[in-house]
Amino acid sequence: MTELNDINNQPAPNPSPQERDALTQMVMALFDHWGLDEEVRFSLLGLPDATPEQLLQYRAGHPLQAGEPLSRASLLLSIHKNVRLLYPDNSDLAYTWMSKKNKAFDNRTPIDWAAEKGLGGLIYVREYLVDVVEARFRGAPFKRN
């Protein structure tokens, strides 16, 4: 039986160790830009019981394990890509957007929302941003149902 990806019920990708390593390094750099503490980093990756030593291993090049942590890393990078599409000329805003309160997340930060809601929260943040980006490029006002 084919394993399904939690994100969109498509067949789960089977990334090579090099691809997993690259994805891990990118998400670790993104966490640095966002200024996240270790607890939040592990929560966003779905690794609440991880140790600080594991974070050091990821920083040193040990790739995230396949499955949910890797899916979450991919979602986090997709979220950042969409924020960059919204603010292509303002990298400061692009790196602080996740830490700013937003009515779309019950006046909480997207980081807090995603950390509390887990995988579903990350998907929600990504889908929200995809909708905003699509509305902006269509020139239509954004309305979230």
Q: Residue 97 falls within a domain, yes or no?
A: yes
Domain extent at residue 79:
17-138
Residue 60, in any domain of the structure: yes
Query: How confident is the model over 8-51, as pLDDT tens digits?
Result: 544 456 788 888 889 999 999 999 999 999 889 999 999 988 88
Sorted by sequence, the CB contacts under 8 Å of residue 23 that are 6+ apart come out as 15, 63, 64, 70, 73, 74, 77
pLDDT category at 56 given cuts 50, 70, 90 is confident
User: Is the torsion defined by CA of 11, 26, 114, 79 positive or negative?
Assistant: negative
Q: How many domains are there within the chain? A: 1
Computed over every residue of the chain, the mean pLDDT equals 86
Structure tokens of 109? 């930060």
The answer to whether residue 12 sits within a structural domain is no
Does 5 map to a domain? Answer: no
Q: How far is CA 4 from CA 1, 69, 71, 121, in A?
A: 9, 14, 11, 19
CA–CA dist 136, 102 (Å, integer): 18
